[in-house]
Chains A and B, each alone.
Chain A
Amino acid sequence: MEWKIAALAQKNLRRKIFRSLAIIAAVMVVAATLFSVTTIMESVEQSLKRGTARLGADIMVVPSKAETAARSALLSGKPSAFYMDKSLVEKIKKIRGVRSVTSQIFLKTSPYACCDVSDLFIIGFDPDNDFTIKPWLTNTLGRPLAADEVIMGRGITAYATGFTLNFYNQPFKIVGMLEETGMEFIDNAIFISSAGIDRILANSNKEGAVVPISPDKVSTVLVQVDQEFSPDRVSVFIQAELDGVKAIVTDRIIASVRKQLFILLRSVLSVSAILWVMALLLVGVVFSMIVNERRRELGIFRAMGAKKSHVFRLIMVEAAILSFLGGVIGIGLGGGVLFMFKDAIYASLNIPHLWPNTARFVGLISFCMLLSLLTGIIAALGPAIRASMLEPYEAVRGGE
């Protein structure tokens, strides 16, 4: 029975092509804007989650004056150099709620001849207690990083594994690339072990290579907290006990970027919401017109044996077919535009992003398809109920 109703609905829609196209277009616009906006939000969210997971820290302690630079480095990967005393590492380790700490030192490659590439972000990590790079090293390289080796972020595409690069006149061999996170802080950085940093420091001031760091400095202390303490609480402890530092809770970065993104996309989201309401109204009005216009036709269906439920389902199937097509075309269009202009869009938003994986894409497509279908179904519900409740004779006389 269902396919008979569907076939009848499809024949009707094919013969009323302009009206069908108008409804498809209304749903398509909603689906396209919604799909592109949710995909952008999802890609940023995923990037932040993967990036902070890679970072492995609950809290990032930086010099208080460098908070903005640290957030900027984390989110946009902009090379930033800020330093604080290394003794802070031991002090932080003793604070209540702190489970483990590791320090990192940031270094920007020099534009002079000592370095093969200028303005690269070098992150020196401590292999004894690191939890950012070490898990990756264990899983993929299977051994510690030697003093003359580096790991590259996935965003540095000019070089490949096996290449040797000179930093401050010291050769370093690229032995691996991290998985993409979308966070430029990690994707555009070169990771060197503390032994490698020591090599650079040992040759500082030789052959014109002046290294702007010293062995008693670190740029950040990354903190993992005990399970019974929240990162927010521990960050308060750190700031209460230590002067001149800012304890940034990494989860808060996700929340703040989400908020920032929401503000950026609020107008687009508002337009999407308005478009959705307009599409609901438009489809509702069109289906009301369809029911009025087809009163006699619906009466004839009833005379030929159609039940109330058949009439209801006929209208709902027509709405579902049109909104399904609108959804498919809209998602295709939104996805296509986003794919073509993704670099320009993300560059203008200046936030981390990572194209969602297949499962998330399927989830987003399903969500947008569901909303598209709901647009047609909700809008047509009233007219469909009204159509099914028509008395057959009154409906048959409708055209008189």
Chain B
Amino acid sequence: MIHVEHLNKAYSIDGKQFKAVDDVSLTIEQGEFLSILGHSGSGKTTLLNLIGGLTKPNTGTVRIDGQDIWQLSDSKLSELRNEKMNFIFQFSSLIPTLSVVDNVLLPATFGKAKKADLYATAVELLEMMGLANKLRAYPSQLSGGQQRRVAICRAFINEPAIVLADEPTGDLDEETESEVISLFRSFNETKKTTFLIVTHSSDLAAKTDRQFRMTAGRLELL
């Protein structure tokens, strides 16, 4: 379970304080499939990264399974990210010097899991995404859509309890987008994976069970 309480995050731009996240509270149960809808600059990506422990809030708490993640040491927080959650970023997040399969296996590099044990899972995920013939290719040899699909495969390699997805279907055509959402649903139903999807697409948001809207850092339930 994710429990967010009075979360605030402000940036200073040209000497002026800009509130990216403004007193946000939110509870997400294990296995939920929800989305946050908002325009660019509304603070939804910042909220996602606060929940993922990638940036520290000014005030407020983020609890995952009852543990305040900002009370953890860097080492423990990194282990939490490695074992319990995974990210899909809105930009191309593949490592250019690694092959497709090595990119998918990246979380295993920093965790206790052995790469060899996860290799079959990586190949299976890539096959599901239609990338079976691209295992040894490098990101520069893939289209934007293919790169996005590889990043999605990577998000599932460690069977995370929580997937934090920022515009996960941004580069994909309608057909692939539909396949990706089906895959998300499949993981959500079979493995009880929690999905928090940030998007500006109301069509994509409509496919989730619960929708929030973010406007100028404030969150409201739709």
Contacts and interface: CB of A to CB of B under 8 A. Distances in A.
A302 B89 CA distance: 13
Interface in A290-305: 296-297, 299-305
Nearest to B50: A393
B144 to A, nearest CB: 15
Contact of A307 (B75, B102, B107, B154): B75
B83 interface: yes
B95 interface: yes
A214 B162 CA distance: 104
Given A308-B74, A393-B49, A297 B95 contact: yes
Binding site secondary structure of chain A: helix
A305 B87 CA distance: 11
Contacts of B78: 302, 305-308, 310
A300 B55 contact: no
B109 A12 contact: no
B106 interface: yes
Contacts of A143: none
Interface string B80-109: 011100110101010111100010001111
A399 B91 CA distance: 10
A132 B95 CA distance: 70
Nearest to A304: B107
Nearest to B154: A304
Contacts of B110: 4, 301, 304-307, 310
A21 interface: no
A300 B81 contact: no
B38 interface: no
Contact of B102 (A11, A308, A394): A11
Chain A CB within 10 A, most for which of B52, B54, B74, B89:
B54
Nearest to A14: B97
Interface string A385-400: 0000001111010011
Interface in B125-168: 138, 154
Contacts of B56: 391
B111 A305 contact: yes
Contact of A302 (B54, B91, B111, B154): B54
Contacts of A307: 74-75, 78-79, 110
B81 A12 contact: no
A307 B111 CA distance: 10
B115 interface: yes
B74 A396 contact: no
A8 B75 contact: no
Contacts of B111: 305
Interface string A271-283: 0000000000000
A4 B108 CA distance: 9
B55 A392 contact: yes
Interface string B40-57: 000000100100111110
Contacts of A15: 96-97, 138
Given A304-B82, A307-B75, A391 B95 contact: no
A4 B110 CA distance: 8
A333 interface: no
B81 A303 contact: yes
A5 interface: yes
Chain B CB within 10 A, most for which of A296, A393, A400:
A393
B75 A303 contact: no
Contact of B109 (A5, A296, A299, A400): A5
Chain B CB within 10 A, most for which of A304, A306, A392, A393:
A304
A300 B89 contact: yes
Contacts of B95: 297, 300
Nearest to A399: B91
A84 B138 CA distance: 84
Given A4-B109, A297-B95, A396-B89, A305 B102 contact: no
Nearest to B96: A15
Contacts of A310: 78, 110
Interface in A365-400: 391-394, 396, 399-400
A11 B97 contact: yes
B52 to A, nearest CB: 7
A6 to B, nearest CB: 11
Contacts of B97: 11-12, 14-16
Nearest to B83: A305
Contacts of A14: 97
Interface of A: 4-5, 7-8, 11-12, 14-16, 296-297, 299-310, 391-394, 396, 399-400
Interface of B: 46, 49, 52-56, 74-75, 78-79, 81-83, 86-87, 89, 91, 93, 95-98, 102, 106-111, 115, 138, 154
**Across the A-B interface, the 8 shortest Cβ-Cβ residue pairs:** A305-B82, A393-B55, A15-B97, A393-B54, A392-B54, A307-B78, A305-B110, A306-B110
Given A11-B98, A391-B54, A393-B55, 13 more contacts: A4-B108, A4-B115, A15-B96, A15-B138, A300-B89, A300-B93, A302-B81, A304-B86, A304-B107, A305-B107, A308-B78, A392-B55, A399-B91
8 contacts: A4-B110, A7-B109, A8-B98, A11-B97, A11-B98, A300-B95, A305-B81, A393-B46
